[in-house]
Amino acid sequence: MTDEGLLYAVSRYDLRGFLIEPASIDPYLQRSAIQAGPNALMQMGPLWQQLMEILPELADGVPVEGTPALHCWVWPADRVEDGVQRLQVLDAGVFSQRVQALVARGAAGNQLETLRQLVRLQAELRAFLQAAAERRDAVLLYVV
């Protein structure tokens, strides 16, 4: 079974509680009110790991241990804003080169299809993070 990456925009005030009690993250994310907001959830699917690998601009996430997730990272609101700024200056050619290098290493399947999916995901990620930054939300990557 392939891991699925789910990206959540969460209240920066709730983030403090997650870091104190990581087991509280899963019940929080299950609440339908959290999932109903605009840009509150982005499904990254199985390409989450490849996308994070080719976007070192987002490498400053804080790992959270003690959750039922396979992996969990958080970005406080200030790091979300910093990530948005770093992604804004990322050149499309550089991004394409990173994807091609990933495919050349055999870390992805069909090169053209993978490129299309990663370009689409990157555009969605930019919009998601921009909206979260405007709301001063924290962001949580939850891998199940």
Q: Of 49, 36, 55, 61, which is closest to residue 96 (Cα–Cα)?
A: 55
Per-residue three-class SS string for 43-94: EEECCHHHHHHHCHHHCCCEECCCCCCCEEEEECHHHHHHHHHHHHCCCHHH
Contact 44, 6 (CB under 8 A): yes
Give the pLDDT mean for 71-90.
95
Please give the share of the chain, as a percent, with pLDDT higher than 70. Answer: 90
**Which comes out higher in pLDDT, residue 112 or 109?**
112
Q: Does position 135 have pLDDT exceeding 60, yes or no?
A: yes
Question: Which pLDDT score, from 0 to 100, does residue 39 have?
Answer: 53
**Summary count for the chain: helices (H), strands (E):** 7, 5
